[in-house]
Structure 1
Amino acid sequence: MSFFENFWDFIWWLFIFYAFFAFLWALFMVIGDLFRDHELSGWWKAVWILFLVFVPLLSVLAYMIARGKGMAERSMERARQSQAETDAYIRQVATASPTEEIAKAKALMDAGTITPEEYNRIKSKVVV
């Protein structure tokens, strides 16, 4: 008799597979949160890790019950910080330097695309 001949055996196998990966995901989220939390002392981190090693399922559940709210707050703060760093990098890369802006405006004025007054206005915006 093949393993996949019985439909309910297949469903049970899928459930076990899903539960195992959900547990691994939760375990890694807890471990990541432990090391991301700067308010928790090193000794408490070591205690949590010991419990996670020897009693993993109960420790993950206890951690999520005891520290779940702080876990969500730390995750949101990390996401905000990452977004701010990404935005700052994009602004840094996307904006041209004042010298480049003035050179572009000068080239446009030399080509006759803009007037000297427009060139001076662009130059005053960039220099400020």
Structure 2
Amino acid sequence: MNDIAGPIAATDYPLLNIFWTMLWFFLWVLFLMLIFRIIADIFRDDRLGGWGKAGWSIFVIVLPFLGAFVYLIARGRGMGERDLQAVQKRDEQFRAYVRETAGAPSSTDELVKLARLREHGDISEAEYEQAKTRVLA
């Protein structure tokens, strides 16, 4: 009686079956990521009311394949636009934080410095106006 099941079991699962198993697992994970992204988009959308959010959520949860495909067809373009707006908002917040943290001079500080330079005669009136328009631009 041979009790060694390990090597026999390993030879019963060919390489092509391993490939198909990995492919199906990858597609399953991809689909779950899509479902989570759709649900996040549903709740991120400000133009969609509470009942609309509830309806889409139930549709996507109860019938995930059909719900995901219908949502992507009906609201896919808006999904991309909302993603773009969110990225732009985060980028602007990051840039504002960096400017604030780095101590970048504000336009008011720059204008005060230019006025002092003009008062002391270090720059002419034309240079002052040119620098002022550059600061205010």
Scaled by the length of structure 1, the TM-score of the pair is: 0.72
Distance in 1 (alpha carbons) for counterparts of 2:53 and 2:35: 14
| Structure 2 unaligned regions, length at least 5 | 1-8, 107-116, 123-130, 132-137
Aligned length: 104
Give the alignment's Cα RMSD to 1 decimal: 2.5
Q: Deviations over 1:21-63 (max 9, x none)?
A: 1101101110111011010111011011111221111101110
Q: 1:19 to 1:81 in 2, by over 3 A?
A: same
Distance in 1 (alpha carbons) for counterparts of 2:33 and 2:52: 22
Larger-Rg structure: 2
Alignment partner of 1:12 out of 20, 41, 49: 20
Q: 1:3 to 1:93 in 2, by over 3 A?
A: farther
8 Å CA contact 1:51–1:59 kept in 2: the answer is yes
Distance in 2 (alpha carbons) for counterparts of 1:3 and 1:9: 11
3-12 vs 80-89, which moves further: 3-12
* Identity among equivalent pairs (%): 32
Is 1:40 the counterpart of 2:48? The answer is yes
Aligned partner letter, 2:93: E
Distance in 2 (alpha carbons) for counterparts of 1:89 and 1:19: 39
Alignment partner of 1:57 out of 51, 65, 71: 65
The structure with higher relative contact order (CA 8 Å, sep 6+) is: 1
